[in-house]
């Protein structure tokens, strides 16, 4: 599971590092915008399968086509919003590239629902492999095409078509493997969309994405291409630490809804692992920067050693927050978590804007520390008021 997540990180960071030699700073910046939008869409939770898991019927036995249709309809609704974000962050992005957003969103939504279905079946390794494998393949394919001189529009089109096709093929294989019943697809789709619980999950996911991605939106808009590239590589490298909540969160949720299947014990393990791994990451970074003081500049193109340690601390704190958020959601406190994430959606853009305006890439890293610390403090306060029943 960790290997699949690591492959995605290597694919993205590797593509950026290699393309620094084969593409102009402007072209690389445009490609980073596509990577950012693709990863954001893949990170949004349409919550179709997650909400279905809370019903008496459950999520696994429904026709797979109903999830695909529901995901496509939700992608059509999400695409204009992401289009506005992309256009704001990169005013020069071509309309022909933006036209692919509905399919970019659909590919992300389909793989997210597939991951939930596989997690509910206990196939956690396959869940990570499907989602991260398809995303990593899209990164590599787009990077190769841009490096070969195909242009951003062609790279986006081919990469998106490949990801969507892979998601559809994976959905078919999963349906056959788990014997999901057939027929009544449209009726099941209507029932899935009529269950308003998915709106709370999806809204929380959307607001969390807005809060957590504001740094790259503002950085893409305000920073020079070289500075944004340096920040983006650093952020993508360090944020791989979130493999811990990324792996544990769906397991915590799957084992907490319905019956007691050890959700709290899994959450405790995630907290402990995050603490130990976090201390290790900070120590390794400090030693590497002390022994090889020019390594950071050689990899990302700028000397960001001290701010990188700040961002590393922020990433660790954010991991704790992500684990606690899923605990509270699994306990049924979806509206409370939605309200908290909404507050952070207002705070985060202001913090990142001030940071970028005052100190560029380093300012974004300090803003991350402020954001993650405030978010964890608020979540802990919520948890202290009412202990989540997470198994």
Q: Digits of tens for pLDDT over the chain (391 positions)?
A: 555 555 666 666 666 667 777 777 778 888 888 988 998 898 888 888 877 776 666 555 566 778 889 889 999 999 999 999 999 988 889 999 999 999 999 999 999 888 888 877 777 677 777 888 888 888 889 988 988 888 889 999 999 999 999 999 988 887 766 555 555 777 778 888 887 778 877 887 888 888 888 999 999 899 988 888 889 889 988 988 998 888 788 788 777 765 555 677 888 899 999 999 999 999 999 999 999 988 888 778 788 899 999 999 999 999 999 999 888 877 777 778 888 888 988 999 999 999 999 999 999 999 999 999 999 999 998 875 554 343 3
Q: What local confidence, expressed as pLDDT, does residue 389 receive? A: 41
Inter-residue contact 88 to 221 (CB < 8 Å): yes
Cα 41 to Cα 156: distance, rounded to the nearest angstrom: 14
Single pTM value for the model: 0.71
Q: What confidence score (pLDDT) does residue 391 get?
A: 39
Instruction: Pull the structure tokens for residue 387.
Output: 């202990």
205, 47 contact by CB (below 8 A): yes
Query: Which are the contacts of 215, defined by CB distance < 8 A and separation ≥ 6?
Result: 235, 348, 352, 364, 367, 368
Determine which helix (DSSP H) or strand (DSSP E) holds 21, and give its type and residue range: helix 2-22
Q: What are the CA-CA distances from residue 296 to residues 202, 229, 310 (Å)? A: 37, 13, 14
Instruction: Determine how many CB atoms are found less than 10 A away from the CB of residue 321.
Output: 22
The pLDDT assigned to 348 comes to 92
User: Residue 346, Cβ neighbours under 10 Å: how many?
Assistant: 11
Place of tokens 């961002």: 311
What CA–CA distance (Å, rounded) separates 61 from 69?
A: 16
Q: What share of the chain is helix, strand, coil (3-state, %, to 5)?
A: 85, 0, 15
62 Cβ contact partners less than 8 Å away, ≥ 6 residues apart? 52, 180, 181, 188, 192
- Structure token pair of residue 155: 């790279």
Q: Could you tell me the sign of the dihedral formed by the alpha carbons of 146, 151, 152, 154, in that order?
A: negative
* Cβ 149 vs Cβ 21: under 8 Å: no
Q: With the C-alpha atoms ordered 142, 133, 29, 87, is the resulting torsion angle positive or negative? A: positive
C-alpha to C-alpha distances, 328 to 325, 334, 384, nearest whole angstrom:
5, 7, 11
Euclidean distance between CA atoms 171 and 193, whole angstroms: 19
**Domain definitions of the chain by residue range:** 1-195, 196-391
Whole-number Cα distances in Å, 142 to 45, 229, 240, 339: 24, 17, 21, 37
CA distance 155 to 35: 11
- How many other CB atoms are found less than 10 A from the CB of residue 246? 20
- Work out whether the CA dihedral 150, 152, 157, 158 comes out positive or negative: positive
């Amino acid at each position: 599971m960790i290997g699949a997540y690591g492959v995605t990180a290597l694919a993205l960071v590797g593509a950026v590092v290699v393309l620094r030699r084969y593409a102009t700073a402007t072209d690389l910046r445009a490609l980073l915008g596509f990577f950012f939008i693709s990863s954001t869409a893949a990170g949004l939770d349409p919550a179709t399968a997650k909400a279905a898991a809370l019903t008496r019927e459950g999520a696994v036995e429904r026709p797979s086509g109903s999830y695909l249709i529901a995901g496509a309809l939700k992608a059509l609704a999400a695409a204009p919003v992401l289009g506005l974000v992309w256009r704001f962050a990169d005013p020069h992005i071509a309309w022909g590239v933006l036209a692919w957003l509905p399919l970019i969103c659909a590919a992300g939504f389909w793989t997210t629902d597939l991951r939930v279905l596989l997690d509910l079946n206990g196939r956690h390794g396959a869940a990570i492999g499907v989602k991260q494998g398809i995303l990593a393949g899209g990164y590599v394919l787009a990077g190769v095409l841009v490096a070969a001189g195909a242009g951003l529009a062609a790279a986006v089109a081919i990469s998106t078509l490949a990801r969507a096709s892979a998601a559809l093929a994976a959905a078919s294989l999963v349906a056959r493997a788990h014997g999901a019943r057939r027929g009544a697809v449209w009726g099941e789709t209507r029932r899935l969309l009529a269950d308003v619980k998915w709106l709370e999950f999806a809204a929380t996911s959307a607001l969390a994405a807005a809060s957590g991605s504001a740094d790259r939106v503002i950085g893409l808009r305000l920073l020079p291409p070289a500075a944004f590239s340096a920040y983006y590589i650093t952020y993508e490298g360090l944020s791989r630490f979130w493999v811990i909540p990324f792996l544990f969160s769906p397991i915590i949720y799957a084992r907490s809804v319905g019956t007691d299947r050890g959700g709290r014990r899994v959450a405790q393990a995630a907290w402990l692992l995050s603490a130990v791994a976090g201390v290790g990451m900070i120590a390794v970074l400090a030693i590497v920067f002390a022994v090889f003081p020019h390594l950071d500049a050689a990899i990302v193109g700028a000397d960001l050693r001290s701010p990188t340690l700040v961002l590393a601390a922020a990433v660790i704190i954010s991991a704790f927050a992500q684990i606690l958020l899923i605990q509270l959601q699994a306990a049924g406190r979806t509206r409370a978590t939605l309200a908290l994430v909404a507050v952070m959606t207002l705070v985060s853009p202001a913090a990142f804007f001030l940071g970028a305006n005052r100190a560029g890439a380093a300012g974004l890293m300090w803003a991350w520390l402020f954001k993650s610390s405030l978010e964890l403090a608020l979540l802990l306060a919520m948890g202290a008021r009412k202990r989540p029943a997470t198994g």
